[in-house]
């Protein structure tokens, strides 16, 4: 096999139906959506049609949907926009220790600007402590921002309960749902979500385009000054092909959700059970029940994750040691440290994220090579030799 792709949490292949839907807006219908002539109006309608698809998917009003350049922009906009929109009420924000850097770095920047941030602990499976959340709320708390599902270990948070806690305490609730949208059905009304972020390239859409839901009557400051696009909240000529692609990808994702989730989960479970049977001294990270269907995160003792990835790459296998946004860092994953893994085990982690285009043959190829690579890397490891010597003396 030339290339076998198992990094769908980082990005996905753009669906051919999505590409087909986008093409006319790259060549034929190229007008500026702000123009009054026909090809401009056609583009404006295409944007509004996509906005309606997003709104229907989340069970909200289309006026509550804003298009952005992706998940990171949506997170930044929601958190900063709401924080400053409600600064007269208070300056306290609550988040968790396992959030995506788009959330954590935004919160750190707000701390430098005079805001107070509480970072909640999680349990060994990465689930937020609801009692700690309740105790952390103050009269000055204006925003809770907790991700829907973790990008590294796949754990799905108790979003409904968090939404209820926020509502009872008159605090706004934002969720980074970048990993969840396209894999989980989300009703923002039933879940008491006030703001939600998504990104098209996580559900077989194009890169560089996302969406932000903000409940009506929630105040948030504009994030780009200039023209009056996106109801005067984000200036700049809209990315029409990207927005059309996002709408089409979302439509397809929920049209085929149950069928694809069943297939993906079966492949994921087959992979995990095979690895547990064939490779000793491993740890499955995250909650196996409250989890995204395609995600598996495994720590292999006595080896480095970087060596594992490089050897997999030589076999044409694409995987990850964590979030693609932090893959340039030599530090162990902040998520794995937060769930209690020691540094030496966290360093040997591998994230395999299966998508709708993966096959059982590809999973078998992955298993076969992973077994061989882990065995070979361990034989080269002084830690492995030391461990075996201790075992022999027992």
CA distance 213 to 83: 16
Residues in contact with 169: Cβ distance below 8 Å, sequence separation at least 6, in sequence order: 137, 141
Sequence-separated (6 or more) residues with CB below 8 Å from residue 273: none
**Cα angle at 187 between 242 and 89, to 5 degrees?**
90
Question: What's the CA gap between 196 and 174, in Å, rounded?
Answer: 6
State the residue for tokens 């089409």: 248
Q: Which residue has the tokens 């696009």?
A: 229
Question: Nearest CA to 178 among 95, 284, 103?
Answer: 103
Identified catalytic residue from 60, 107, 318, 325:
325
Phi, psi of 362 (to 5 degrees): -65, -40
Nearest-angstrom CA–CA distance, 65 and 183: 20
Please confirm, yes or no, whether 325 is among the known catalytic residues. Answer: yes
Q: Is the separation of the CB atoms in 145 and 133 below 8 Å?
A: no
On the 0-12 / 13-18 / 19+ scale of CB atoms within 10 A, 40 is: middle
Q: Please tell me the distance from the alpha carbon of residue 71 to that of residue 196, in angstroms, as a whole number.
A: 10
Cα 47 to Cα 240: distance, rounded to the nearest angstrom: 6
Tokens read off for 36: 């009054």
Three-state secondary structure call for residue 218: coil
Which amino acids are annotated catalytic?
Answer: 325
């Amino acid at each position: 096999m030339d290339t076998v792709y198992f990094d769908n949490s980082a990005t996905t292949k753009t669906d051919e139906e999505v590409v087909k839907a986008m093409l006319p807006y790259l060549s034929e219908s190229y007008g500026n959506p702000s123009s009054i002539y026909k090809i401009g109006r056609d583009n404006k309608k295409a944007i509004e049609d996509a906005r309606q698809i997003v709104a229907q998917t989340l069970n909200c009003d289309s006026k509550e949907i804003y298009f952005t350049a992706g998940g990171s922009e949506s997170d930044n906009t929601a958190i900063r926009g709401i924080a400053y929109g409600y600064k007269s009420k208070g300056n306290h924000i609550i988040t968790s220790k396992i959030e995506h850097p788009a959330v954590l770095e935004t919160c750190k920047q707000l701390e430098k600007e005079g805001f107070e941030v509480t970072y909640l602990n999680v349990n060994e499976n990465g689930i937020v402590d609801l009692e700690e959340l309740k105790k952390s709320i103050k009269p000055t708390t204006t925003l809770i921002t907790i991700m829907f599902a973790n990008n590294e270990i796949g754990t799905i948070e108790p979003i409904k309960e968090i939404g209820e806690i926020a509502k009872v305490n008159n605090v706004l609730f934002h969720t980074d749902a970048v990993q969840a949208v396209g894999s989980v059905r989300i009703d923002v009304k039933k879940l008491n979500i006030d703001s939600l972020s998504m990104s098209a390239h996580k559900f077989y859409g194009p890169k560089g385009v996302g969406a932000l839901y903000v409940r009506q009557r929630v105040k948030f400051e504009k994030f780009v000054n200039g023209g009056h696009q996106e109801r005067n909240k984000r200036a700049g000529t809209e990315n029409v092909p990207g927005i059309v692609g996002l709408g089409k990808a979302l439509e397809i994702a929920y049209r085929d959700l149950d069928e694809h989730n069943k297939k993906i989960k079966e492949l994921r479970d087959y992979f995990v059970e095979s690895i547990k049977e064939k490779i000793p001294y491993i740890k499955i990270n995250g909650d196996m029940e409250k989890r995204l269907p395609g995600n598996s995160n495994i720590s292999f003792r006595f080896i480095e994750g970087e060596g594992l990835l490089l050897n997999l790459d030589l076999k044409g296998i694409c995987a990850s040691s964590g979030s693609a946004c932090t893959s340039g860092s030599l530090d162990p994953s902040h998520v794995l440290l937060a769930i209690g893994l020691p540094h030496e085990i966290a360093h040997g982690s591998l994230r395999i994220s299966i998508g709708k285009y993966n096959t059982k043959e590809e999973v078998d190829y992955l298993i076969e090579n992973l077994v061989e690579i882990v065995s070979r890397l361990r034989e080269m490891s002084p830690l492995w030799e030391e461990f075996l010597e201790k075992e022999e003396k027992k």
